[in-house]
Amino acid sequence: MSKRKGYSGEKEFADLTGGKRVPASGAAAGFENDVWLPNGMKVEVKRRKEMEKTLYSWVLDEREKPDLVAFRADKMPWIVSMKLEKFLELLRGEHCVRCRENENN
């Protein structure tokens, strides 16, 4: 059941981003990560019944409306999280157009 859920999450993310699901991901050397994006980035996809509620509340904050949320635990590296729509903008380079538009205003 959980294997099927993982596969469907990998396929869904690959389809949404134009990426390629890695067959037998994680099973052997050369098959690391779950999805390879068109720009060469490698993605590990996780699906769980419940994810960290705090992270969702930060990313979906209606008052702040952040593009990204950066967080880190003590003695751990920084992690950046965002909604898929924002990630797709970055992947397509659309954020650069918005930056130039904001500079001109």
CA-to-CA distance for 55 and 25, rounded, in angstroms? 26
Q: What is the pLDDT of residue 43?
A: 92
DSSP letter for each residue of 35-66: EE-TTS-EE-----SS--HHHHHHHT-TTT--
Where in the chain are the domains? 1-48, 50-105
Which backbone phi and psi does 8 adopt, to 5 degrees?
Answer: -65, -35
* Closest to 34 in 3D by CA, of 62, 67, 64, 6: 6
Give residue-wise pLDDT tens across range 17-66: 999 999 877 677 777 889 999 988 889 888 877 767 888 899 999 998 89
CA-to-CA distance for 19 and 35, rounded, in angstroms? 6
- Model-level pTM? 0.72
Of the two residues 19 and 98, the one the predictor is more confident about is 19
Give residue-wise pLDDT tens across range 87-96: 998 888 876 6
